[in-house]
Every structure is written in structure tokens, then in C-alpha cells.
A and B are shown apart, each in its own frame.
Chain A
Amino acid sequence: GAVVSQHPSRVICKSGTSVKIECRSLDFQATTMFWYRQFPKQSLMLMATSNEGSKATYEQGVEKDKFLINHASLTLSTLTVTSAHPEDSSFYICSAIGGNTEAFFGQGTRLTVV
């Protein structure tokens, strides 16, 4: 199947700093990418949907100024957690859709804010 690479897989940062997470589709052009967040023992919650070349659409309750999403090309979307705080510690997962409607997922990023 198609491959989506997410980087880094783990990151630890200090409170107040910003962290960037990359999501790349390696063998297909991703017209739409999604960012999810997963809390322990809870569902993956959709944070935002991004289409290449346009602004991301955020789900209700997600702060767009805190979670900056850029989808500048058909193979790359980035999520930047700005001024991170310990409550932002979580598992972040991206997914990408290309020509068909099947979503392919990255391996996830474990963010720990200390």
C-alpha cells in the first residue's frame, strides 16, 4: 500500500517552545491530509483537514493559532504546535488521501512537553 511518513516519531520539548511535525506521502500525491490527536485510552480525534494550497479547516474546539498547519505541496503537510504546554503532550497522527478515497496513515508522533 501507499506510504505516509511522519517525522519525528518522538519529541520532547520545553514548555513555551514550538515543535514542528512533518507528514509526507512518499509514493502518491496527497490532495488532502488530516491531523489527529490521540489521548491515552481514547479515540483519535480529528483536529484539522488540509488541502494542498489552501488554509486548513479546523474542527470545533481546536485552536488554529496554536496548531498551525501548512500543506504547501502535494506530498508534505506540517503541524506546528506553538508555545507548547504540558497539556499539549499527546500522540499526533497524520493521514493522507490521494486519488482514491482510502486514507493512509503515518506512524504517529509522541510529543512530550516538559
Chain B
Amino acid sequence: GDSVTQMEGPVTLSEEAFLTINCTYTATGYPSLFWYVQYPGEGLQLLLKATKADDKGSNKGFEATYRKETTSFHLEKGSVQVSDSAVYFCALSRGNKLVFGAGTILRVKS
């Protein structure tokens, strides 16, 4: 069945460091891919998405490119801030259902 694998955390970075959180997926066909973020005490929020191969999703300085050949959707940000500390979930959609990765905790130190 469909599945999503994310790098294990926590990931701890200093402010202004470069961020990469790896995400790979297994699915039949070409699902849409998403990154969700969960800030402490809040619900999940859609961060960015891509609906087809080679699409790049971007939001708030974060980017991810839908790579069909490597079945990946890695999340990147050039310069993280303390306010980016949160849990990040990679997900794919099958119809209107979402399949999530385990989540990666990001901690940014000032």
C-alpha cells in the first residue's frame, strides 16, 4: 500500500542554518504530495503542496520539489528561524485521504 517515510528527528539547528528534511514515498500512480506543519499546541497546517512531477511547492521560505524518479519530496529552507520550531509531516493523497509520514521534530536554537 501507499506509505511515506521521513527522516527521524529531532533535527536541531542554529538560527540561519540550512534545513533539509528528507521524505520519500511509495505509491501507485502519481499522488499529490504535501508538507504539513504542527506548531506547539496547534493543529496541523498545510505548509506547501505539489500535484505533479517536477512541481515545486513553496511557502514561507520553505520549498519542496516533486521528484518522480527518486519518489522524493524533500523539504528545504535556506535560513531557519526559532519560530520554525515545530513538527513537520510529509504526506501523500489518495483520493481525499491523506497518508502521513511519522513526522520530524525541528528545533531551532537562537
Which residues of A are in contact with B by a Cβ distance under 8 Å? 1, 4, 6, 9, 32, 34, 36, 41-44, 46, 49, 93, 95, 97, 101-108
Contact = CB atoms under 8 A, between A and B. Distances in A.
B13 interface: no
A97 B96 contact: yes
Contacts of A104: 43
Chain B at the A interface: mostly helix, strand, loop or mixed?
A: strand
B100 interface: yes
B42 interface: yes
B46 interface: yes
Interface string B1-32: 00010000000000000000000000000000
B44 interface: yes
Contacts, number: 47
B100 A105 contact: no
Nearest to A39: B102
Interface of B: 4, 36, 41-46, 89, 96-103
Given A43-B4, A43-B101, A107-B43, 10 more contacts: A1-B46, A43-B103, A46-B97, A49-B97, A93-B44, A95-B98, A97-B96, A102-B46, A104-B43, A107-B42
Contacts of B4: 43
Chain A: interface secondary structure? strand
A36 B36 CA distance: 15
The 6 closest A-B pairs by CB, nearest first: A105-B44, A105-B43, A107-B43, A44-B100, A43-B100, A43-B102
